[in-house]
């Protein structure tokens, strides 16, 4: 393999990592604050793709507004879902909270998937991308739609980190994810932080869907595979860890790209591509459930 080919694969891995990180950060943020795994995350991502399709293809807005539209819509969807379905867990209205959280988000995923199927049909849609053409860096050639999408993705990730680090809202969210009880005694509004975290988590997934929709296609089932990748990423990095989600995404992106090209039988290798990460997920959960960066949590 030539140096250029390796660089190209590494670049592809990096681009894919950006999207994995965007989706995974949402899961991590939600888990950190609400202590639940959102099994409908892939469907939030899918809704982001459709929001973009609505704004760009149907309303004729410029592509960048597709992303903004998706972020705003999914933020609202996330907050409504949190208020209607998740909040009862923390207000003691649910008998078996763990079981409930898993099943309700899983059922929500099924609902959203079938809703999209009913409204939009199973046909693929393809909204216009933010940028077209190709970018050339010496001999390295990268399609413009992917590079621009990844670029915006990186801006969003950096934006999220800045918000978490420097704003009052971000500090509240971080405080709650570190110690719910302590945050409450220090006067942080847990209800508000929870709603914000869930909304922001959904918005991140929506942004990812809006960015990738134009590159691949927007279809109702588009969320299943990326969501699985994001679960792998967060487990790898430690559920709830922001830094872990980013590092996990970087690792998975490279592993997938290179594992696929290193295996000689290419059709089989491609077919098993999605399985490598799943094996990693199982191994991490069985051997080191707290992930690479998480702190071991003792069961009560």
Partner 1 sequence: MTLLQKILLALVVLAAVLPMVGVPQYWLYTLTIGLYYAMLASSWSLLVGYIGRISFAQAAMSGLGAYVAVLTGQLLGWPVVPSLIAGVVAAGLFGLMIGWLTLRLHGAYLGLTTIAFAEILRITVTAEHQVTQGSRGLQVRPLIEGAGPVTYYYIFLAAAVVSVLLMLALLHSRIGLFFQAIREDEDGTASLGVNVTLWKSLAFAASTAFAGFAGGLYAHFVQLITPSMMSMQEMGYILAMAVIGGFSNVVYAAFGGVILQVLLEALREMGEWRLAVFGVIAILMLRFAPNGIFGWLETRLKRKDK
Q: Which residues bind partner 1 (CB under 8 A)?
A: 36-37, 39, 85, 88, 94-96, 98-104, 106-115, 117-118, 224, 228, 231, 235, 239, 268, 271-272, 274-275, 278-279, 281-282, 285-286, 289, 299
Minimum distance of partner 1 from residue 99's CB (angstroms): 7
- The 10 Å Cβ neighbour count of residue 30 is 30
Q: Which is nearer to partner 1, 5 or 103 (CB)?
A: 103
Q: Which is nearer to partner 1, 99 or 139 (CB)?
A: 99
The Cα 147–Cα 64 span in angstroms is 14
The Cα 98–Cα 77 span in angstroms is 22
Q: Which is nearer to partner 1, 136 or 265 (CB)?
A: 265
Minimum distance of partner 1 from residue 210's CB (angstroms): 22
Q: Which is nearer to partner 1, 158 or 279 (CB)?
A: 279
Minimum distance of partner 1 from residue 274's CB (angstroms): 6
**Residue 38 near residue 27 (C-beta atoms within 8 A):** yes
DSSP one-letter string for 203-269: HHHHHHHHHHTTTS-B-GGGGHHHHHHHHHHHHHH-TT-HHHHHHHHHHHHHHHHHHHHHSSSHHHH
Q: Which is nearer to partner 1, 171 or 288 (CB)?
A: 288
Minimum distance of partner 1 from residue 34's CB (angstroms): 11
Minimum distance of partner 1 from residue 263's CB (angstroms): 12
Look at residues 157, 155, 160, 204 and name the one whose alpha carbon lies nearest to residue 47.
Answer: 204
Look at residues 188, 189, 43, 196 and name the one whose alpha carbon lies nearest to residue 113.
Answer: 43
């Amino acid at each position: 393999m030539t140096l250029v080919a390796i660089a190209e694969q590494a670049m592809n891995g990096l681009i894919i990592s950006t999207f994995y990180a965007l989706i995974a950060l949402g899961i991590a943020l939600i888990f950190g604050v609400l202590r639940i795994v959102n099994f409908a995350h892939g469907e939030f991502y899918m809704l982001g793709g459709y929001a973009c399709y609505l704004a760009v293809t149907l309303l004729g807005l410029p592509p960048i507004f597709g992303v903004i539209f998706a972020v705003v819509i999914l933020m609202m969807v996330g907050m409504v879902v949190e208020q209607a379905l998740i909040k009862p867990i923390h207000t003691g209205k649910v008998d078996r909270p763990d079981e409930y959280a898993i099943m309700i988000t899983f059922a929500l995923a099924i609902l959203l998937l079938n809703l999209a199927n009913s409204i939009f049909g199973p046909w693929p849609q393809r909204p216009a991308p933010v940028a077209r053409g190709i970018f050339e860096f010496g001999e390295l050639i990268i399609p413009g739609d992917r590079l621009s999408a990844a670029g915006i993705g990186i801006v969003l990730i950096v934006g999220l980190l800045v918000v978490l680090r420097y704003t009052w809202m971000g500090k509240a969210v971080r405080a709650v994810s570190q110690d719910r009880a302590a945050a409450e005694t220090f006067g942080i509004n847990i209800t508000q932080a929870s709603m914000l975290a869930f909304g922001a988590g959904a918005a991140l997934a929506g942004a990812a869907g809006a960015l990738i929709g134009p590159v691949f296609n927007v279809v109702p089932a588009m969320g299943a595979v990326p969501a699985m990748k994001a679960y792998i990423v967060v487990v790898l990095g430690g559920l709830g860890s922001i830094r872990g989600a980013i590092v996990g995404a970087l690792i998975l992106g490279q592993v997938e790209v290179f594992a696929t090209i290193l295996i000689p039988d290419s059709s089989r290798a491609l077919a098993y591509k999605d399985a490598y990460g799943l094996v990693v997920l199982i191994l991490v959960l069985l051997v080191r459930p707290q992930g690479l960066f998480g702190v071991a949590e003792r069961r009560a």
